[in-house]
C-alpha cells in the first residue's frame, strides 16, 4: 500500500521558534520535532525523517541550543517520519531514547511496519530504544515531568504526552496525541499486513479517554494537526499567543473520531 504522496524536500524548512516558555519548534514540515529546555538537559519529541535531520540540527543552533546537549529523545510512535533522525542524533548526543510499548520492534527493524516503504523509502536507521514507555509512566528531567498515556491505534505503541510550561508567572498544560493518521487503520493496510481491526476500537477509546485531559497548548506530531504554520504567522503579527487555546483540544479529538468513522463507513 504505497501512498500517493511525494515529499518535496526543497520546501521542508520551517523557521524555528519559541511556542511558549521552554517549549520550541525545531522540526521540518512533514514530521514535527519539539524541543523542551528542562534546565538540566534538552528533551526532543520526535526526530522526523532522516532526510530532514540537518534541518533539526540547524534549527537548534539558530535558537541557541547545542544538539549535543539532547538528553532524552522521546517518540510519539514508531513510524519512519518520527524516528528517522534518532540513530544519528543519539550518536551525536548520547541521548537516552524512549518508545512506546508495542513499537519497540518497529524502531529496531524486527517488524517492517514503520511506513518507510509506503513513503517510498527504506528504513535503515534502526536503533534499540533505551527505555520502553508504558501507560501512566512519568518521564522527569529538570523542571519538566511528562505524563505518558498509551493511545494505540495508528500504531500499537502510540503514546500521548502531557506536561507543563511556564513563563512570567503563567503556567500552561501542553498536550500532544501520539498519532491520529487513519491511513494505518485503513482496511487495505490492515489486510496487507494481516493486522487486527481492533486497532480502530482502541483508537476511539483513546480519544474518549483524552477528552478528560485538560490542554491549554495543543501541539501536533504533524503541523496540520494544530494548524501550526498559521498560528506562527499570527504570532509574528503580534497580539495574544494563538497557541494558547483551551478549547482546541476537544475539537481536535472530535474531528479525529469523525475522520475514522467516515473512513469506516466508506469502506462498507
Q: Domain for residue 20, yes or no?
A: yes
CB 185 within 8 A of CB 140: no
Q: Domain for residue 4, yes or no?
A: no
Q: Domain for residue 1, yes or no?
A: no
Cell 504522496, located at residue = 5
First-to-final CA distance of the chain: 19
Q: Domain for residue 25, yes or no?
A: yes
CATH number for position 114: 3.60.15.10
Q: Assign 6 a pLDDT band (cuts: 50, 70, 90).
A: low
Q: Beta-strand (E) ranges in 101-176?
A: 131-133, 138-141, 144-150, 159-167, 170-176
Mean pLDDT estimate for the chain: 96
Q: Domain for residue 59, yes or no?
A: yes
Q: What percent of the chain has pLDDT over 70?
A: 98
Q: Domain for residue 5, yes or no?
A: no
Q: What is the mean pLDDT of residues 197-203?
A: 98
Q: What is the mean pLDDT of residues 232-255?
A: 96
What 3-state class would DSSP assign to 201?
helix
Domain housing 159: 10-267
CB 7 within 8 A of CB 50: no
Q: Domain for residue 18, yes or no?
A: yes
Exposure b/e, 11-30, CB count within 10 A at least 16 = b? ebebebeebbbbbbbbbbbb
Q: How many domains does the chain have?
A: 1
Residue 70 β-bridge partners: 42
Distances (CA, A) of 87 to 90, 96, 97, 105, 221: 5, 11, 9, 15, 19
* pLDDT over 80 (residue 8): no
Sign of CA dihedral 261, 148, 121, 189: negative
Q: Assign 3 a pLDDT band (cuts: 50, 70, 90).
A: low
* pLDDT over 70 (residue 5): no
Q: How many CA atoms within 13 Å lie on the side-chain side of 37? A: 18
Q: What is the pLDDT of residues 214-234, one digit of tens each?
A: 999 999 999 999 999 999 999
Amino acid at each position: 500500500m504505497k501512498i500517493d504522496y511525494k515529499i518535496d524536500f526543497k520546501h521542508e524548512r520551517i523557521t524555528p521558534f519559541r511556542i511558549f516558555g521552554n517549549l520550541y519548534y525545531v522540526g521540518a514540515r512533514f514530521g514535527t520535532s519539539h524541543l523542551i529546555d528542562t534546565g538540566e538537559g534538552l528533551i526532543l519529541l520526535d526526530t522526523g525523517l532522516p532526510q530532514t535531520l540537518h534541518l533539526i540540527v540547524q534549527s537548534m543552533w539558530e535558537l541557541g541550543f547545542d544538539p549535543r546537549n539532547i538528553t532524552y529523545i522521546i517518540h510519539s510512535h514508531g513510524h519512519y517520519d518520527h524516528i528517522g533522525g534518532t540513530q544519528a542524533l543519539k550518536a551525536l548526543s548520547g541521548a537516552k531514547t524512549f518508545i512506546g510499548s508495542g513499537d519497540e520492534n518497529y524502531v529496531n527493524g524486527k517488524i517492517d511496519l514503520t511506513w518507510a516503504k509506503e513513503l517510498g523509502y527504506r528504513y535503515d536507521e534502526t536503533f534499540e530504544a533505551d527505555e520502553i514507555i508504558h501507560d501512566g509512566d512519568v518521564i522527569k528531567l529538570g523542571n519538566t515531568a511528562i505524563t505518558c498515556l498509551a493511545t494505540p491505534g495508528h500504531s500499537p505503541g502510540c503514546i500521548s504526552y502531557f506536561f507543563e510550561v511556564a513563563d512570567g508567572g503563567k503556567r500552561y498544560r501542553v498536550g500532544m496525541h501520539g498519532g491520529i493518521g487513519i491511513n494505518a487503520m485503513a482496511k487495505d493496510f490492515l489486510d496487507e499486513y494481516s493486522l487486527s481491526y481492533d486497532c480502530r476500537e482502541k483508537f476511539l477509546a483513546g480519544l474518549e479517554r483524552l477528552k478528560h485531559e485538560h490542554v491549554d497548548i495543543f501541539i501536533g506530531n504533524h503541523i496540520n494537526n494544530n494548524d501550526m504554520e498559521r498560528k506562527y504567522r499570527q504570532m509574528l503579527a503580534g497580539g495574544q499567543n494563538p497557541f494558547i487555546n483551551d478549547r482546541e483540544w476537544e475539537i481536535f479529538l472530535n474531528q479525529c473520531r469523525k475522520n475514522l468513522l467516515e473512513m469506516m463507513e466508506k469502506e462498507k
